[in-house]
């Protein structure tokens, strides 16, 4: 399953189309970012595992809700809680030289 704009809107509990352009951009970015972390979404041959789909939804929702860097107390978080756990079975460490 590929995550759609309607999936993201349902996840965010949004019904109007007022934010569709913003949501589409954030969904595209989330898909690329999660795809890079798991070695490419094309490896799944159109059948993306449910945890990867959920990670994309969570990341896109995080981008929508936090349009700037996110901080809690003195720590800065780059991914919403749970995304790394959802993709851990498919992710691999990226060498520092290409980060």
Q: Cα angle at 38 between 2 and 4, to 5 degrees?
A: 15
Are residues 3 and 31 in contact, defined by beta-carbon separation less than 8 angstroms? yes
Neighbour count for residue 66 (Cβ, 10 Å): 12
Residue 24: pLDDT band with limits 50, 70, 90:
very high
* SS3 (DSSP) at 29: helix
Integer Cα distance of 74 and 92 in angstroms:
28
pLDDT at 11: 95
Can you give the residue ranges of every domain in the chain? 5-98
What's the CATH class of domain 5-98?
Answer: mainly alpha
Highest mean pLDDT among 15-19, 46-50, 69-73: 15-19
Express each pLDDT in 53-70 by its tens digit.
999 999 999 889 877 666
Structure-block tokens of residue 12: 């965010």
> How many CA atoms within 13 Å lie on the side-chain side of 91?
17
């Amino acid at each position: 399953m590929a995550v759609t704009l309607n999936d993201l809107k349902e996840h965010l509990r949004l019904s109007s189309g007022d934010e569709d352009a913003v949501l589409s951009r954030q969904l595209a970015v989330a898909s690329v970012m999660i795809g890079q972390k798991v070695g490419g979404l094309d490896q799944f041959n159109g059948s993306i595992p449910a945890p990867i789909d959920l990670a994309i939804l969570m990341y896109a929702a995080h981008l929508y809700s936090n349009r700037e860097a996110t901080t809690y107390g003195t720590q800065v978080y780059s991914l919403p809680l749970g995304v790394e756990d959802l993709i851990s079975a498919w992710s691999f460490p990226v060498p520092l030289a290409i980060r």
